[in-house]
């Protein structure tokens, strides 16, 4: 095999706009022949794909997969340029394959997709997988974010994805045993809470997950707003406003969207007093990470 020099790689890179590793692989396939390597890139649509990289990918879809045992789930945001491609079967299938990839990871919470660059999707590297999808759709395709939730013990992870696949959420519930976790009521509860997360966009599952400095700043603001009130009741007024603020940003303190007469924590308790909210994650196409 001919020696692949750095100069040859750089020249091919300038002509095609591809990355160094792609250029090196093409040159190896072409036995060092730069013209042949460039032809291979064109035949595979790789050069065109690289040229699309700067175009805005503001459309896309959110896709979710749940494990067979219901104890873990993964969600991905895959972006493209138009809703037409976002609804394409190939694009949807690719989104599911990426969700399957994330499901097999050990990470939890929201994941920056750039940290997954060394992962493989089937026989292809993640980069090659996206480049191929880019070529087949004719649009700039970007894998931006993902999320994964998992339970070590009995429980249920489930999801809700809005009908347009533009937003979705996954929620985990801890249960006392597998029978409870597999019950219709628990499965429905997990789905309802995921819908709640999409609709109301809470920032935390519980109060103790809200940053202490954010709470202190909010209370300072509320006390300042009550400066026209008698000093002995300012603290009480601030605490009342703080509770209302928690009711907006904390999931268990929110009004349950399917029954406004009760809070989310009351709805969970009505399904089972030993059931506990675990965590949640929400993704929406085009939104930046929180």
Are 162 and 137 in a shared domain? yes
Are 153 and 226 in a shared domain? no
Are 88 and 215 in a shared domain? no
- Report the C-alpha gap between 123 and 181 in whole angstroms: 35
Are 258 and 234 in a shared domain? no
- Report the C-alpha gap between 220 and 33 in whole angstroms: 69
- Report the C-alpha gap between 96 and 73 in whole angstroms: 12
∠ CA 115-282-259, rounded to 5°: 165
Are 153 and 33 in a shared domain? no
Range of the domain at 277: 59-205+254-284
What pLDDT, on the 0 to 100 scale, is given for residue 290?
44
Q: Is 289 a member of any domain?
A: no
- Report the C-alpha gap between 221 and 98 in whole angstroms: 43
Residue 181 C-beta-side C-alpha neighbours within 13 Å: 23
- Report the C-alpha gap between 206 and 227 in whole angstroms: 29
- Report the C-alpha gap between 147 and 113 in whole angstroms: 9
Q: Is 290 a member of any domain?
A: no
What is the chain's pLDDT, residue by residue, as a tens digit (290 residues)?
A: 678 888 888 887 776 656 667 778 888 888 888 888 877 776 665 555 555 555 556 799 999 999 999 999 999 999 999 999 999 999 999 999 999 999 999 999 999 998 998 999 988 899 889 988 887 887 888 998 999 999 999 999 999 999 999 999 999 999 999 999 999 999 999 999 999 999 999 999 999 999 999 999 998 999 888 888 888 888 899 899 999 999 999 999 999 999 999 999 999 999 999 999 999 999 999 886 44
Contact, 79 vs 285, CB < 8 A? yes
Are 104 and 198 in a shared domain? yes
Total domains, the chain: 3
Are 119 and 258 in a shared domain? yes
Residue 176 C-beta-side C-alpha neighbours within 13 Å: 6
Are 198 and 108 in a shared domain? yes
Threshold 0.85, pTM exceeds? no
Q: Buried b vs exposed e over 111-139: b needs ≥16 C-beta within 10 Å?
A: bebeebeebebeeeebbbbbbbbbbbbeb
Beta-strand pair 142-150/72-80: antiparallel
Query: Residue 32: what are its φ and ψ, rounded to 5°?
Result: 85, -5
Identify which of 199, 190, 208, 289 has the alpha carbon closest to the alpha carbon of residue 250.
208
What pLDDT, on the 0 to 100 scale, is given for residue 17?
59
Q: Is 275 a member of any domain?
A: yes
């Amino acid at each position: 095999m001919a020696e692949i020099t750095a100069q040859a790689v750089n020249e091919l890179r300038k002509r095609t706009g591809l990355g160094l590793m792609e250029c090196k692989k093409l040159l190896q396939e072409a036995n060092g022949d730069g013209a042949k390597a460039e032809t291979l890139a064109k035949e595979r649509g790789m050069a065109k794909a690289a040229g699309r990289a700067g175009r805005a990918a503001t459309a896309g879809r959110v896709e979710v997969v749940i494990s067979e045992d219901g104890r873990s789930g993964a969600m991905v945001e895959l972006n493209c340029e138009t809703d037409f491609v976002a609804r394409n079967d190939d694009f949807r299938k690719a989104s599911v394959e990426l969700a399957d990839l994330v499901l097999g990871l050990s990470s939890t919470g929201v994941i920056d997709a750039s940290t997954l660059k060394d992962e493989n999707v089937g026989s292809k590297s993640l980069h090659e997988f996206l480049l191929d999808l880019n070529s087949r759709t004719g649009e700039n395709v970007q894998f931006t974010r993902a999320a994964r939730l998992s339970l070590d013990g009995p429980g249920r992870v489930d999801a809700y994805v809005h009908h347009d696949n533009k937003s979705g959420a996954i929620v985990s519930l801890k249960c006392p045993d597998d029978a409870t976790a597999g019950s219709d009521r628990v499965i429905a509860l997990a789905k309802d809470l995921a819908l709640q997360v999409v609709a109301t966009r809470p920032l935390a599952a519980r109060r103790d997950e809200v940053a202490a400095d954010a709470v202190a700043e909010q209370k300072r603001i509320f006390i300042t707003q009550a400066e026209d009130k008698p000093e002995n009741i300012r603290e009480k007024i601030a605490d009342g406003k703080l509770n209302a603020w928690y009711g907006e940003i904390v999931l268990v303190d929110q009004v349950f969207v399917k029954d406004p007469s009760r809070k989310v924590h009351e709805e969970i308790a009505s399904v089972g007093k030993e059931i506990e909210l675990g965590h949640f994650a929400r993704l929406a196409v085009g939104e930046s990470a929180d």
